[in-house]
Amino acid sequence: MTARYLEAAVTTTSLVAVYGTLKKGLNNAHWLSTATRLGGDTCTALTLYDIGPYPGAKWQTSRGISLEIYRVTASQLARLDELEDHRHGAPEQGEYQRQLLTTRFGKAWVYIYNPSVDGCIMIAEGGWPSQ
């Protein structure tokens, strides 16, 4: 059975905005292979940072970051939370926090990177890997 907080999250919105390795054609895209891809969007409320094998997003104004928007189920969201180390009971302790973002498809969950990005390469336009 799926946890109640996941059911509540999907009731809030069943959309997820992705900006990194979960995007089509990248190494973690298989995590969303059964989700419905709605399309792309550009977001100026986020800036990406290259933190090595994947990016992290911070709430910082950018010139436009490329996103893909998917419709997910509660069980799919649970798997994404696990991949992103989102900790429902203590979100500030995980690697990412799942937060709401406005997209052209409506509100979507997005994973915001918790650790410091000092010394990381900023990506303020386009996507990851740098395009």
Catalytically annotated residues: 84
In angstroms, the CA 20 to CA 13 distance is: 20
* Residue 86, helix vs strand vs coil: coil
- Asked if residue 15 lies in contact with residue 72, where contact means CB atoms within 8 angstroms, the answer is yes
Where in the chain does DSSP place strands (E)? 15-18, 36-43, 47-50, 55-58, 64-71, 96-103, 106-113, 121-123, 125-126
Indicate the DSSP class of residue 69.
E
Phi, psi values for residue 88, rounded to 5°: -55, -45
CA distances from 60 to 1, 9, 37, 91 (A): 37, 24, 26, 19
